[in-house]
Amino acid sequence: MTVLDETPREPTDTRGRVAELLALREQAHRGPSDRATEAQHAKGKLTARERIELLLDPGTFKEVEQLRRHRATGFGLEAKKPYTDGVITGWGTVEGRTVFVYAHDFRIFGGALGEAHATKIHKIMDMAISAGAPLVSLNDGAGARIQEGVSALAGYGGIFQRNTRASGVIPQISVMLGPCAGGAAYSPALTDFVFMVRETSQMFITGPDVVRAVTGEEITQNGLGGADVHAEISGVAHFAYDDEETCIAEVRYLISMLPSNNRENPPTVESEDPEDRRSEVLLDLVPADGNRPYDMRKVIEELVDDGDFLEIHERWATNILCALARLGGQVVGIVANQPQSLAGVLDIEASEKAARFVQMCDAFNIPIVTLLDVPGFLPGVDQEHGGIIRHGAKLLYAYCNATVPRISLILRKAYGGAYIVMDSQSIGADLTYAWPTNEIAVMGAEGAANVIFRKQIAEAEDPEAMRARMVKEYKSELMHPYYAAERGLVDDVIDPAETREVLIASLAMLRNKHADLPSRKHGNPPQ
């Protein structure tokens, strides 16, 4: 029998210490001051904590190192040591799945990065990699903290190193919600996706003042590195939105389409859209005449579950479309030529855009469906001098290197080297289908006839009549819809109305595909 010790004990101050801790946490949670919060809102921007609340499921955020403060001295820093040191780090869930996040707090040192600030980011990045969960950065910072000198620069180096180590392992998403200048811009550039908000977010290596001093050019911050510039011209931003709320909601949607890491498959969902739904409208959407344009987005909308898809780089390199969607509840990446823009040709920017998308899909176990209607590569001196050969090779390399299920569908034109590059059977597509309107050839019939029958056309009494006859002959002999199928280059010629059913059944068959690459440290892709 145990005898209880009834000796009186000295009173402890545990309750007082807990109250003190709670007060410190509340102070850190409030931020520097109400005035700083009002100034942030006056700029049309949310605070870091408000952004995290929008991103994560309610009540799930667990903060890390909330009471961290910098140790720097000099330049007035010793008198100003706010909690969090200007960055909020932690984890929570998005639709029940773990997601790590860090958010710059512009109210503290303008969100500038110092040693303690960087150490917090390093820690949360390491945690995300170890846990195998997506990492979202909510960027709103003024670059390196000048008062801390080289220590701040070293902090960026640690971030870049971890971005690279996490590449292809966990999804990394950068959300630009304020300025991002100098070396700080390289971290978003190393991540998988970049979101921007118009008017309030900018990215550039050298700002307008430096540009003016060096080149004499006058330009605003938004004109130099705003959301529309990077979404339409540079291709740095994958998405651009008018407000933070919409932007962050789309980040949540993107996360729902991605796996947590490269060892998992993307989440599947139950779809009420019948897998065997016929799409008779496709017979009218795509003209048989190869010279008539149409909107490939409408084709994608008709094929995918509930017509819902997320287009990546919507406004950059518009002659090719890249999108995430679901077919039979399974996430797929779609690469498609866009006949409405430059007739759907491949050029330098389109090749880069599609290559990066294919690599992302392959890294995260997302099957790839390619919709072909491509007349070739864009001719021109600018393209050749700009390196269309090496840029086009990037897309070729990405497809050849991809081990995920790959299905290609030829809707109409598939000419020359562009046909080979767009995941043809000869470079490893698992299945290749074609509609009866397909034309697979080295080049268009008119160009081919002019080369092959040049002498006959020149010697004919009526050259135009002879040319027309030779074009017709070439089409009937080498470009009829079943020519490629007869030679095993197409697995089947299908009814367009049955395309959705065929794709879903094919993806189901390929779901457990396993493919090995040769043992190597890494490839050496064209640059």
Q: Which residues are catalytic?
A: 182-183, 417-418
Quickly tell me which residue has 């090496």 as its tokens: 390
- Strands 62-64 and 87-94 turn out to be antiparallel
CA distances from 468 to 141, 156, 169, 483 (A): 64, 64, 56, 21
Three-class SS of residue 99?
strand
Comparing CA positions, the residue from 177, 175, 182 lying closest to residue 153 is 182
The 10 Å Cβ neighbour count of residue 224 is 18
Three-state secondary structure along 8-48? CCCCCCHHHHHHHHHHHHHHHHHCCCHHHHHHHHHCCCCCH
**Is residue 381 a contact partner of residue 374, using CB atoms and an 8 Å limit?**
no
What is the Cα–Cα distance from 301 to 224, expressed in whole angstroms?
34
Give helix 150-166 / helix 115-131 axis angle, nearest 10°: 10
Q: In the chain, what is the straight-line distance between the N-terminal and C-terminal CA atoms, in Å?
A: 79
Beta strands of 95-187 (E only): which ranges? 97-104, 135-139, 172-176, 179-181
The 10 Å Cβ neighbour count of residue 278 is 14
The alpha-helical segments, DSSP class H, found in 132-278 are 150-166, 186-190, 208-215, 221-225, 227-229, 244-256
Tokens read off for 384 = 């050749």
Tokens read off for 91 = 């984890």
The 10 Å Cβ neighbour count of residue 266 is 21
**Is residue 133 a contact partner of residue 96, using CB atoms and an 8 Å limit?**
no
Quickly tell me which residue has 């959407």 as its tokens: 285
The answer for residues whose C-beta is within 8 angstroms of residue 467's C-beta and 6 or more apart is 446, 449, 450, 453, 457
What is the Cα–Cα distance from 204 to 7, expressed in whole angstroms?
69
Quickly tell me which residue has 């739904």 as its tokens: 277
Comparing CA positions, the residue from 104, 94, 102, 99 lying closest to residue 54 is 94
The answer for residues whose C-beta is within 8 angstroms of residue 94's C-beta and 6 or more apart is 55, 56, 57, 134, 252, 255, 256
